[in-house]
Amino acid sequence: MRTITAIALTLLATLTLSAQKSTEKYHCIGFYNTENLFDTIHAEGHNDYEFLPKGVNRWNSEKYTNKIKNIASVLAELGTILQPQGATMVGVCEVENSAVLDDLVNSPALARKGWKYLHAESKDVRGIDCALLYNPKLFTPKEHKLIPYGNKRRTRGFLVVSGSIDKEQFHIIVNHWPSRNSKSPSREYAATQVRAIKDSIMQAHPMTKIIIMGDFNDNPKNISLKDSLRTRQYITDANKAGDLFNPFWDIHKQKKIGSLKYRDRWQLYDQIIINGNICRGKGLKYAKSEIYSPTHLINKNGRYKGYPKRTHANGEWLNGYSDHLPVLIYMKK
């Protein structure tokens, strides 16, 4: 009798756990610097010459087609460990134009998922932009606009998207801040603009959930992110709706890993930052974050062993992916 009772209790516990798991719904949000995703055609007024058939990289249809296929394969993988449909949305940067994005979402790996994108042409001197790719079954966009970098500098602006996930309102800001060739104040200036955009959104929509993602060309502890954008290192410090929590701050500090490598040191320029409404309250809430680094995205030998497997290195075409790794956060309902 005791044996039968024990079996019954074990079965009940198993069924209860299964029921709990079945009610958990995850959404994966990603960001990926695609590293010079150019087509092979010159765009008037843009410095894209190194990515032309006669340019230094001898960029041709074969290389471009493989690059599209490789990037699409990575995007299709993201989030599938917790959500069979994959990522809800992925912000990208270093894409040349809408034609490249068309080729990307029409690549077999993403076409079968029905992905779409939102994009606005920027004034960047090289012609590289930000975009937001998304699964329309999981995210419903409402509107999007590009807010330019607020001075005469010809660089990427800030792509601002509004929409809904599971009927909850979201605003997403996709960034690619000035490179490390520029001094810190240029990124601090970008941070103050993004903070102003965030504050304006929060004033109009106090209950909205905000995601700020991008290649910030700074680590989490740098002035631009820590002070100018005013991010918090710990989720417990994001008590107010408009407070910003950076889950990648602790990853970089504690684990000493990053999304790109420079002179044998990991840097974490790619990050996803969330507001207090995602940290607490009802509905979708922050669950965890990660740097997506499967072995096929990492060089296995040569001078750059252990680095992200990029498209070119020392003039050699590696048929790789990007010099950056994707970063992800998961929200759970």
Domain ranges of the chain: 24-332
Tokens linked to 191: 């941070």
Report which DSSP code applies to 308. B
**Which segments in the chain show pLDDT lower than 70?**
1-23
Residue 23: predicted pLDDT: 61
CA distance linking residue 85 with residue 138, whole number of Å: 9
Asked if residue 231 lies in contact with residue 273, where contact means CB atoms within 8 angstroms, the answer is: yes
CA dihedral (70, 178, 226, 242) positive or negative: negative
CA distance linking residue 229 with residue 196, whole number of Å: 9
Q: Using a pLDDT cut of 90, give the percent of the chain over it.
A: 83
Tokens linked to 26: 């995850």
Residue carrying the six token digits 């701050």: 249
Q: How far is CA 298 from CA 32, 104, 158, 262, 294, in A?
A: 15, 22, 30, 14, 7
Give the three-class secondary structure for 232.
Answer: strand
Q: How far is CA 305 from CA 71, 74, 298, 300, 310, in A?
A: 20, 20, 8, 5, 11
Strands ordered across the beta sheet of 140-147: 140-147, 158-165, 168-176, 209-215, 270-275, 244-245, 231-232
Give the three-class secondary structure for 23.
Answer: helix
Q: What's domain 24-332's superfamily in CATH?
A: Endonuclease/exonuclease/phosphatase (3.60.10.10)
Residue 42: predicted pLDDT: 95
CA distance linking residue 124 with residue 313, whole number of Å: 24
Residue 212: predicted pLDDT: 98
Residue 314: predicted pLDDT: 83
- CA 161, distance to chain mean position in Å, is 14
Asked if residue 58 lies in contact with residue 306, where contact means CB atoms within 8 angstroms, the answer is: no
pTM for this model (two decimals): 0.92
